[in-house]
Structure 1
Amino acid sequence: MSIRKKPIQNSRRPTTGAASRIYSRENVGRYSERARQRRTRKRVRRGILCGVVGVLLVGVVAAGAWFTSIMSRLNDSSIITSALQQILVDSDVTREPFYMLLLGTDGRQDGEVERSDSIILARIDAPNKQVTLISIPRDTKVTIDGGTYKINAAYSLGGAEKMVQAVNDLCDVQISHYAEVSFEGMKSLIDAVGGIDIYVPEGDEVDDPEAGPVKIEAGQQHMDGEAALTFSRARHQFLDGDYTRMRHQRMVLGALADQILNKLDPTTIVSLVESVANMVVTDLSASDIVALVNAMRGMDTNNIWSANIPSYANESTYINGQSYVFVYEEALAEMMERVDDGEDPRGPQSMGETGDSATIGDLSNNSNEDWASGNATTGSSSSSSSDGESSTAQ
């Protein structure tokens, strides 16, 4: 048997031309240059990537520092104390109604104790874009730690937490959030949003040097911060004094809400929050403020419900030579039940026990004399009159 031998395979060798192309010294230099260029490109890409990461890190650090700065000013720890936070109840500001106490103060000057000049309990219902503003006269008689005081003394007795507790007890509510602004802060805030628009009813013109330097005429007015503050502080020239001042304060708040929610460019909200942080102290976070503004955008601020607590002051409301405002307690309890249910408070707009439906829009349609005399007409009054009934705000 013959054995067949496998043919011997020729090993593949590069041709002389190919070998010259691969192994020539000239080509070795060219490949070295290409390798060097590849390494250079990799270093450049790594450099760009590191630069981008560095910029992002700087941006994150800067944003964190900005946010920390905002929060430290908004949540001033000398006012938003742990004691206050223990009293406030949790709420989801964009998904459920909550109560917020709004305080206007005269600011600390020369070591004097700060006093609360404006006290407004607000119920805010973002899902339904509805707000109710209830003013509390600063001279309202309350019991604090077993003693008899005017409610605005609560702040000097124990800061914001004592004020929140006093309003909780008076109105039988649980307040979730707190905000305070000084007179100077209010001026700056209104200037920061470009001023506010208010229709001043005839008879509510202001010329009161004690309230401020601005004279305010009747009719449609665009007010800067100084004018708005003067309008919200004036009381001496009006028939029902402090009650007119409280109505004007609610009108200013309504106009401010309208400016922020309906007239400002939404892209300016973040910069507005930064401005607010210099003027307002609140337990709300910057993100909560932005979310709440966005949730409430487009609401009709003329339909904000308005009232003050049922109350009165006369010769019988003096205690130890000091004049107090006394509360109609049963009427207040009934009014607050309606407020708590998200209904029209139907509370008074001046001194008195009962009231009728009234909104911020109604406040611009009646003078202080109309409210004080019980002759004010409101949107609900007009509806009743069309049905053959007569109704007034008192």
Structure 2
Amino acid sequence: MLGSSMSIEDDAERQELEEELTPVNSASDPFYVLILGSDARESDSGSRSDVIMLARVDPSSGSVSLVSIPRDTMVTINGSTQKINAAYAHGGSAMAVRAVSEFAGVPISHFVSVHFEELEEIVDMLGGVWVDIPENISAGNGGMSFKAGNQLLTGEQALAYARERYHVSGGDFGRAQAQRQIVEAVIRQVLASSPVELPGLIGQLANCITTDLSVTDIVGYAQEFLGKELTVYSAICPSYTLNQDGVSYVATMFNEWKRMMQLVDAGLDPNDATAEIPSAQADNADLGAASNSPAPRDYEGLAANAMTTDDVAAVE
């Protein structure tokens, strides 16, 4: 049964979202999920998505690819240049799905929204999560300091780590990496539970999210992963900071983004510089096309003089 806190309460919004989502043919087929997170403490409007993550889930191979899309990514929304996180503010979940689907060039089948405060509850419900923090971090906007190394984080610590963008390498890009680490840790912790415990655990966790999925759907997908060696790939849309008309944006490195999405769609490591693109993905002109981005297409010189997604601290 769908938990009341999971459902999208507004009927019109729910209908609009359903029209944007692409159904999955079978439980074993790969599919894309849009994961949004918001932090009302830092957001003026309280409705912009601070976390935008595209996940490709492949139950048959036991793999998940997590790809961050920087919240300040320059796109066109309703005919004007905006940051991609404005899509959720202007048009709710349906417009957010549409914006990310156009940007990545893939159909999106499911939507999940998590508030930062709910993230703390999820982590504590799991008994904490193991995260390898790549650098020493002094307390900034997250409110906590951390030593580098693999460590068990409480919900409060995970929330602080997911928020920190002032004292991490790469700023917002580094924060996006931390958020992917925590999502991966949650996934691993859930799938490490026994088949008997799994439905009850997911039922509890489901109360902390808003999604089009039912508890039964989530349990079914999770059960497809049981008995398989879980592979999680983690990446961020190759990007750089750009100031245009007095507004700070994140602009896309188009060639690198296209290749990354080709690898993601093929179920390969999106960070593998030597991987050969399969013909099915090479022939797909939509993958990583970022057709809704007005950012400069001649970007090499701009990126060379800006902060980029390569400036984050490397996770071993």
Name the structure 2 match of 1:16. Answer: none
Q: Secondary structure at the match of 2:50?
A: strand
- 1:109, distance to aligned residue in structure 2 (A): 10
Distance 1:337 1:72, change over 3 A: same
Q: Give the counterpart of 2:238 among 289, 292, 310.
A: 310
Name the structure 1 match of 2:37. Answer: 104
Name the CA distance, whole Å, in 1 between partners of 2:164 and 2:42. 21
- 1:121, distance to aligned residue in structure 2 (A): 0.3
Distance 1:374 1:73, change over 3 A: closer
- Paired residue type of 1:102: I
Contact preservation (8 Å) 2:132, 2:315: no
- 1:343, distance to aligned residue in structure 2 (A): 2.2
The answer to whether residue 202 in structure 2 is matched with residue 273 in structure 1 is: yes
The answer to whether residue 182 in structure 2 is matched with residue 252 in structure 1 is: yes
Q: Give the counterpart of 1:319 among 236, 244, 264.
A: 244
Contact preservation (8 Å) 1:239, 1:372: no
% identity of equivalent residues? 36
What are the equivalent positions in structure 2 for 1:70-219 lying under 5 Å apart? 70-78=2-10, 81-92=14-25, 94-107=27-40, 112-201=45-134, 204-212=135-143, 214-219=144-149
- Paired residue type of 2:71: R
Contact preservation (8 Å) 1:197, 1:255: yes
Distance 1:92 1:72, change over 3 A: farther
Distance 1:216 1:375, change over 3 A: closer
Count matched residues: 282
Contact preservation (8 Å) 1:93, 1:288: no
Name the CA distance, whole Å, in 1 between partners of 2:251 and 2:32. 23
The answer to whether residue 165 in structure 2 is matched with residue 229 in structure 1 is: no
Name the structure 1 match of 2:297. Answer: none
Distance 1:148 1:340, change over 3 A: same
Q: Secondary structure at the match of 1:128?
A: coil
- Paired residue type of 1:246: A
Q: Structure 2: which 5+ residue stretches go unaligned?
A: 276-308
- 1:155, distance to aligned residue in structure 2 (A): 0.8
Q: Secondary structure at the match of 1:180?
A: strand
- TM-score, normalised to structure 1, is 0.66
For residues 339-393 of structure 1, what are the alpha-carbon distances to aligned partners after superposition, in whole Å with 9 as ceiling and x for unaligned?
222222237xxxxxxx678xxxxxxxxxxxxx84699597xxxxxxxxxxxxxxx
| Max Rg structure | 1
Name the CA distance, whole Å, in 1 between partners of 2:266 and 2:169. 33
- 1:194, distance to aligned residue in structure 2 (A): 1.2
Contact preservation (8 Å) 2:141, 2:165: no
Runs of 4+ in 1 over 3 A off after TM superposition: 107-113, 298-301, 371-378
In proportion to residue count, which structure has more helix? 1
- Paired residue type of 1:233: R
Name the CA distance, whole Å, in 1 between partners of 2:28 and 2:140. 44
Distance 1:222 1:375, change over 3 A: closer
Q: Secondary structure at the match of 1:325?
A: strand
Q: Secondary structure at the match of 1:123?
A: strand
Q: Secondary structure at the match of 1:194?
A: coil
**Relative contact order: is structure 1 or structure 2 higher (C-alpha 8 Å, sep ≥ 6)?**
2
Contact preservation (8 Å) 1:105, 1:183: yes
Name the CA distance, whole Å, in 2 between partners of 1:217 and 1:109. 24
Name the CA distance, whole Å, in 2 between partners of 1:132 and 1:221. 23
- 1:294, distance to aligned residue in structure 2 (A): 1.2
For residues 263-301 of structure 1, what are the alpha-carbon distances to aligned partners after superposition, in whole Å with 9 as ceiling and x for unaligned?
x23322232233223210111111111111111125545
Name the CA distance, whole Å, in 1 between partners of 2:43 and 2:67. 32
CA RMSD of aligned residues (A): 2.6
- Paired residue type of 2:263: R
For residues 308-366 of structure 1, what are the alpha-carbon distances to aligned partners after superposition, in whole Å with 9 as ceiling and x for unaligned?
112111xxx2122111011122321222122222222237xxxxxxx678xxxxxxxxx
Name the CA distance, whole Å, in 2 between partners of 1:107 and 1:93. 36
Name the CA distance, whole Å, in 1 between partners of 2:313 and 2:274. 11
Name the CA distance, whole Å, in 1 between partners of 2:43 and 2:33. 30
- Paired residue type of 1:307: A
Name the CA distance, whole Å, in 2 between partners of 1:375 and 1:153. 28
Name the CA distance, whole Å, in 1 between partners of 2:185 and 2:262. 27
Name the structure 2 match of 1:362. Answer: none
Q: Secondary structure at the match of 2:234?
A: strand
Name the structure 2 match of 1:293. Answer: 222
Distance 1:375 1:270, change over 3 A: closer
For residues 59-85 of structure 1, what are the alpha-carbon distances to aligned partners after superposition, in whole Å with 9 as ceiling and x for unaligned?
xxxxxxxx2xx3433222238610011
Q: Give the counterpart of 1:340 among 254, 258, 265.
A: 265
- TM-score, normalised to structure 2, is 0.81
Q: Secondary structure at the match of 1:127?
A: coil
Name the CA distance, whole Å, in 2 between partners of 1:77 and 1:117. 21
